[in-house]
Every structure is written in structure tokens, then in C-alpha cells.
């Protein structure tokens, strides 16, 4: 509704002209250029209708048929034909309204001329042609409603001169004729007004959409450029940071393991372990940031092959059996007895499992449980589920769980740390594989994250044929 009010405020509601002169000129130019074909067809059809009504001359005015056809051929058709030719000129857009108004006036005056030269009943009946002229021209020829109304009123006045003074018509007949002619003028003016109002509002709406599209396109280009710059920056920085970090991690590991000899003081070894742990953690964060940026740019690399998903899950779970990592949690698995082979990127799938189990461990208190399940559903899809008995998430947090850098807003989450990049990366990897990620959670009741790979990635081996003895 506010858009309509804004659009209407730009128009003079009587003349339907734009208050801004530049906008009015642009509209008229575009409107006339777009309406040329309609106007030409309207002029040709109008001339054809005018000619068809000439058949009545043979029936009603056989004695004056030549005078009537002189009017048609000598006045009306030249006016219509001249206007038709004018639509092909370069000056059409500038003088279109004047030319169309003159063509309408010429067609109406031809009818009035017939009421002047015709004998009764032709002088009484032929006025009806004015009804066709005022309605047809107002609704078809794209004449501005003010010009159309002026021409219609002028024709109405000329008909009064003809019917009262030049070829008098009985008063009761004239009263009836004037009533129907006035109604025709009112209908034509109303149709013309509404039609032009919607044309102008549609023009405003189109211009607004074009303007908004241009702004949106400009913003999109800026966002793309910013995204590319971000990806390039992260790629460059990750390289610059990884090189010294790898050196720090490598040398701290040498010191921690006392490979070159004893340190002499146990505190030095503790410091080396802290350096090694912090460096490894920082390197993992940098790797996650680069993976996310690369995934958003659609440049994440994948190496697909056939592998046993049960084996990958089992290898990942072994990493979390260490007490320092499991934090006193029970980590269990429900895996099929036989192998589950899939066609995917084993490295990326391993990354998914580690991220999901890490989240379960991170957000579950000591004494809780994290359970990993793997199965093939009835559709043939390979399904991996990681359920924990941790703090869970509220409904509003659940909607943002896969947004980069999001972490559930509670002190326990903050204490556990994390960058909020794990689930976004998981989702990108799953989407690339054509799969789906589903998260179910309630505060205090834990979280269940389910990964589903499409059936076409599951490799179901045909059973070996039974060999009978003998």
C-alpha cells in the first residue's frame, strides 16, 4: 500500500501527468514508442469499421449514398491514413497526441457531416456513429484522457449545432440521442482515465524495479569482490601463518620429547608441551578458516574413491579414547558387522566425523555419553548419526547452528571455547556430496546430528553365488 501511495503522489490525479517534467517526457517517449504497433492496428481496424458501416448507406440513404461516401473517402479515410503514415515519422513521438486527437476529431466530424447532409431518418440515426468514435478512440488509440475528453465534448457540441440549427431533429429524438451520446462520452472518459492511470503506475513500478535491480546488482558485485578478497586474504595468511607455526610445532615437539637430550628442568618440558598444544590448536583453527572460505568460494577440493565407512569411523573414534581428549565421557559406537562401502572423499568424510564427535565431546559434561551410529536406511542412503547427552540447544539457536562463528549463548559453551566453524564446514562438505545434514536438539537433553549420503553413493555388493558340493 505504501508503494502505491508513493507512486500516486508523483502524479497529478486530474491530468495524470507526472509532477516531474523529466519523468513526464521520458514516459511519453517510451509509451508512444511501445504503443506504435497498437496504434497502427487501431487505426487500420477503425478505418475498416468505418468502411463496414458504409453498407448502411445503401439501405438507409440510397439517394445520398454518393455524398456519404465522399465524406468517408474524402475526409475521414485521408485523416486516418495520414495519421497511419505519421506513425512512421521521426516526429511521431513528439506530436503523437495532437495527431491522434485530430484523427479522432476528423472521424467524429465525418459522422456529424452525415447528419447534416442526410435526410430523415438518416439524420436522426447516424449520430450513433459518434458513440463508436468516442468509445473506440478513447480505449484503443492511446490518446491522453484529457485530449480525448476535450475532443468528445467538442464533437458533442458540434452535434448540437447540426441537430438544432443545420438539420433540425425532433426534440424527443434529440433528447434520446444526447442521453446515449453523453453516456458514451462518460464511459469512454472513464475507461481512458483508468487505462492511463494503470499504464503510468506500471511505468513507475517498472522503473522502481529496474532501479532496485541496479542497486542489488551493484551490491552483489561488491559482495562478490569482498568475498574473493576475503578468500584470497585467508589463503595468503594461512600460508604465511602455517609456515612458522609448523616450525614452532616441530621444534616444540623435539623439545617435548627430549629427542636431543634431557632438558634438565621438568618445567621446560611442560612449557614445550604447552607450546606444542597451543600451536597445534592454532594450526587447526587456521585450517578450518581456510576450508570454510574455500568452500564458500566453491573451490574446496575433493578426491573421491570407494572406501569402507565403518573403518573410517572406527579410526576416528580411536582418537577420542585417550582420557585427555574424552574428558571422562563414554564414547560408544553402533556399527554394522559387515563393511559399509561408499563412494566419496574419505579425507573429507573423516573431517566430518571428527568435527561431529568433537562437538559432542565439547558440549557434554563429565560422565555423559557420545554415541556414533551408522546404518543403511530403506532408501539405500548411508546414514551417520552422532548423539550426545550434553547441554543441547534452544530452538532459536538451532536455526543458527550452521552459521559461521556461531556458538550457543551460554557460559558452558564459552568455557569450552571453539570457533563455530565445525558445523558450517560439515554442512558444506555434505552438500557437495549431495547429502543432507539434520540437527535435533533441546536444552538439557543433548543433541543428535545426522548426516545422510544419497543412495547413489552407497555401494551395495552383490551376494556371492552359492556353490553346491559335488
Residues 321 and 415 in one domain: yes
**Average pLDDT of the residues of the chain:** 83
Domain hosting 236: range is 231-296
Angle at the Cα of 431 from the Cα atoms of 426 and 437, rounded to 5 degrees = 60
What confidence tens digit (pLDDT) does each residue in 200-238 have? Answer: 888 888 888 888 898 899 998 988 887 777 767 766 666
Whether the per-residue pLDDT at 354 is higher than 60: the answer is: yes
**Which parts of 165-263 fold into alpha helices (H)?**
171-257
Residues 51 and 157 in one domain: yes
For residues 387 and 408, the answer to whether their CB atoms sit within 8 Å is no
User: Mean pLDDT across the stretch 66-77?
Assistant: 87
Q: Residue 289: which of 197, 133, 392, 418 has the closest Cα?
A: 418
Residue 223 domain-assigned (yes or no): no
What confidence tens digit (pLDDT) does each residue in 236-266 have? Answer: 666 666 677 777 778 777 877 777 777 777 7
Residue 158 domain-assigned (yes or no): yes
- Is the peptide bond between 126 and the residue preceding it cis, with omega within 30 degrees of 0? no
Residues 138 and 255 in one domain: no
Last residue of a domain, one of 217, 248, 272: 217
Element containing residue 89 per DSSP (H, E): none
Sheet holding 447-453, edge to edge: 330-334, 369-376, 382-388, 447-453, 436-441
Whether the per-residue pLDDT at 74 is higher than 80: the answer is: yes
For residues 452 and 382, the answer to whether their CB atoms sit within 8 Å is yes
Residues 54 and 101 in one domain: yes
Q: In 405-415, which positions are buried (b, 16+ CB within 10 angstroms) versus exposed (e)?
A: ebbbeeeebee
Whether the per-residue pLDDT at 467 is higher than 50: the answer is: no
Residues 251 and 344 in one domain: no
* pLDDT band at residue 280 using 50, 70 and 90 as cut-offs: confident
Residues 279 and 312 in one domain: no
The confidence score (pLDDT) of residue 110 equals 92
* pLDDT band at residue 361 using 50, 70 and 90 as cut-offs: confident
Residues 50 and 119 in one domain: yes
Put simply, whether the predicted model's pTM sits higher than 0.75 gets the answer: no
Residue 249 domain-assigned (yes or no): yes
Amino acid at each position: 500500500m505504501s508503494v502505491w501511495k508513493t507512486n500516486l503522489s508523483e502524479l497529478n490525479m486530474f491530468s495524470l501527468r507526472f509532477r516531474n517534467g523529466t519523468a513526464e517526457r521520458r514516459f511519453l517517449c517510451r509509451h508512444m514508442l511501445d504503443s506504435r504497433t497498437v496504434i497502427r492496428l487501431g487505426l487500420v481496424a477503425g478505418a475498416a469499421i468505418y468502411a463496414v458501416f458504409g453498407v448502411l448507406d445503401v439501405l438507409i440513404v440510397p439517394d445520398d449514398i454518393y455524398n456519404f461516401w465522399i465524406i468517408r473517402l474524402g475526409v475521414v479515410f485521408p485523416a486516418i491514413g495520414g495519421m497511419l503514415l505519421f506513425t512512421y515519422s521521426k516526429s511521431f513521438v513528439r506530436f503523437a497526441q495532437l495527431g491522434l486527437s485530430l484523427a479522432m476529431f476528423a472521424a467524429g466530424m465525418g459522422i456529424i457531416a452525415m447528419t447534416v447532409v442526410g435526410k430523415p431518418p438518416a439524420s436522426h440515426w447516424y449520430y450513433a456513429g459518434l458513440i463508436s468514435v468516442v468509445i473506440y478512440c478513447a480505449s484503443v488509440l492511446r490518446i491522453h484522457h484529457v485530449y480525448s475528453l476535450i475532443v468528445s465534448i467538442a464533437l458533442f457540441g458540434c452535434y448540437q449545432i447540426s441537430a438544432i440549427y443545420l438539420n433540425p431533429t425532433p426534440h424527443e429524438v434529440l433528447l434520446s440521442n444526447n442521453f446515449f451520446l453523453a453516456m458514451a462520452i462518460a464511459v469512454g472518459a472513464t475507461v481512458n482515465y483508468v487505462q492511463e492511470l494503470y499504464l503510468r503506475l506500471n511505468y513507475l513500478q517498472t522503473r522502481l524495479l529496474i532501479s532496485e535491480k541496479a542497486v542489488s546488482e551493484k551490491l552483489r558485485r561488491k559482495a562478490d569482490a569482498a568475498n574473493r578478497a576475503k578468500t584470497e586474504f585467508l589463503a595468503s595468511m594461512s600460508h604465511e601463518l602455517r609456515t612458522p607455526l609448523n616450525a614452532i610445532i616441530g621444534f616444540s615437539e623435539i623439545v617435548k620429547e627430549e629427542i636431543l637430550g634431557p632438558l634438565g628442568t621438568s618445567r621446560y618440558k611442560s612449557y614445550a608441551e604447552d607450546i606444542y598444544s597451543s600451536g597445534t590448536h592454532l594450526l587447526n583453527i587456521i585450517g578450518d578458516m581456510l576450508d570454510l572460505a574455500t568452500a564458500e568460494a566453491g573451490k574446496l577440493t575433493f578426491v573421491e574413491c570407494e572406501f569402507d565407512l565403518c573403518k573410517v569411523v572406527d579410526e576416528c573414534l580411536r582418537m577420542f579414547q585417550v582420557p585427555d581428549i574424552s574428558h571422562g565421557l563414554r564414547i560408544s559406537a553402533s556399527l554394522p558387522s559387515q563393511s559399509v562401502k561408499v563412494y566419496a572423499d574419505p579425507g573429507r568424510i573423516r573431517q566430518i566425523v571428527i568435527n561431529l564427535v568433537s562437538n559432542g565431546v565439547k558440549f557434554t559434561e563429565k560422565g555423559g555419553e557420545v554415541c556414533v551410529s551408522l546404518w543403511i536406511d530403506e532408501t539405500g542412503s548411508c546414514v551417520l548419526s552422532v548423539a550426545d547427552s550434553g547441554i543441547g540447544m534452544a530452538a532459536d539457536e538451532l536455526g543458527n547452528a550452521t552459521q559461521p562463528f556461531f556458538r550457543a549463548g551460554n557460559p558452558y559453551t564459552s568455557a569450552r571455547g571453539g570457533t563455530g566453524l565445525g558445523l558450517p564446514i560439515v554442512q558444506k562438505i555434505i552438500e557437495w556430496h549431495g547429502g543432507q545434514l539434520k540437527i535435533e536438539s533441546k536444552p538439557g537433553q543433548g543433541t543428535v546430528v545426522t548426516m545422510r549420503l544419497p543412495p547413489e553413493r552407497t555401494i551395495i555388493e552383490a551376494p556371492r553365488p552359492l556353490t553346491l558340493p559335488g
